[in-house]
Structure 1
């Protein structure tokens, strides 16, 4: 039988002190991350890099992200999927359409932000914000459109007072959780937690503006969900660079690796079994 996905995620948040989501860049990386974590984050930064080879400044087409989520859901029928949908792809009607499609293929949650175009990664300078009323109108339409989907409202404001103003407004509009991105000081998280009674999301990205934190440290300041944007992408970049360098240095002779063709095929066969076991169903049973 089909379950209520939003209640399911709320129940998990009630049962867990903190819930990590691992950012992936393609279906293969998702299948590896899924061996260790049951929360998978469909990262905009990672997808832009993998699918287009371009920076995360607004190139993602909503149809591409929907197709990607559907492929991930097919091989991971029982994992929680949190999807970055940027600003909802500019237009409120498009945002609502994308939310409906993602929910229909089994996504559990989305993150929608208050940036305007041209957008930037949340940990870079030069971000521009929509007027608060304009974003709230979009957010309310998305909340009215979704059935059970869990909606995280994200602000990219840098000024602490503006962060507090916007997060309060997002909570009052009915967002299920709140994310303030690019936070440099965890005391800001404490301040947000004091003024709103909603789950707080914290974004971790290597080399970003926010300090690297353990789950225990984030739990202590009131964070409920941690999304790791790029661990798989950055690990792949480093490993591929090292492998290509050694291949060139070794005159094209392959080195014996921890992973070989049998190991890789075993993972792919497991994905095939997961797909067949799910019977093509999008939602967890």
Structure 2
């Protein structure tokens, strides 16, 4: 079975499939102990790799290189990659999709935003003409072999959300995402518009969408939930706290002995040793 098929089967199974947003190899190492699926978040990658907001700075070779490192360390995890608008040009989008499939990505998300792009939960988003986006999406779908493709719209006007969701559901995309959904009622409405097509919901702390449990999402007919930033924001909070405590303690490091709960060199090394490739046997194949 290929990575795309494995994720497609997971999405088709009962319940809502969670994919956890990771932003670097260390966050992925921690997340891998709790969940079997990653979301390679554009928000997190822009923050960690460039130290910049998610407004279009990501260059596709950087994202592809990151995905390749992830797959080498985590051969058994689902890996859905955010490729923004396909890096503007349709031919570039197709090239990136083929590169990602060859290195073992499970799927990609392709959005309909116009440059300058924004985080899906930010104000000021603009979208491409629908025909222009559908042409790009069609080329991407033709260029993949088994990769799962999520068609995403960032429309904000109610009538346009409905029109685009219906149009995306008519394509050969595997899953539909309307980003920045503001209410449970709108999730229900989108679910009705797209028929039997699998639906993805994006949750981000402090974003525009309601905070919902997996059980609640399953009841609403949501097939996939991506959590863009739990690792990034938790790391932000934990680092800020740790450094404030270090300053308060006049530079004395915390005691990691016993059951203190603190992480030291031993715990960190043990976590990272699990990623050494010779310890892995990949259960799926990558298309030649």
Same fold (TM over 0.5): yes
Structure 1 unaligned regions, length at least 5: none
Counterparts in 2 of 1:1-285, with a 5 A limit?
3-196=1-194, 197-257=196-256, 258-272=262-276, 275-278=277-280, 283=285
Contact 1:77/1:283, CA 8 A, preserved across alignment = no
Distance, in Å, in 2 between the alignment partners of 1:229 and 1:217 is 18
Distance, in Å, in 1 between the alignment partners of 2:53 and 2:224 is 25
Aligned pairs, number: 281
**What is the Cα deviation at residue 101 of structure 1?**
0.3
Contact 1:160/1:188, CA 8 A, preserved across alignment = no
Structure 2 unaligned regions, length at least 5: 257-261
Contact 1:112/1:152, CA 8 A, preserved across alignment = yes
> SS in structure 1 opposite 2:151?
strand
Regions of 4+ moved over 3 Å: 277-284
> SS in structure 2 opposite 1:112?
strand
Distance, in Å, in 2 between the alignment partners of 1:67 and 1:278 is 20
> SS in structure 2 opposite 1:173?
coil
**What is the Cα deviation at residue 129 of structure 1?**
0.6
Distance, in Å, in 1 between the alignment partners of 2:54 and 2:175 is 23
Q: Give me the TM-score of the superposition, normalised by structure 1.
A: 0.95
**What is the Cα deviation at residue 31 of structure 1?**
1.1
Distance, in Å, in 2 between the alignment partners of 1:240 and 1:182 is 28
RMSD across aligned C-alpha pairs, in angstroms?
A: 1.6
Q: Give me the TM-score of the superposition, normalised by structure 2.
A: 0.94
Contact 2:19/2:225, CA 8 A, preserved across alignment = yes
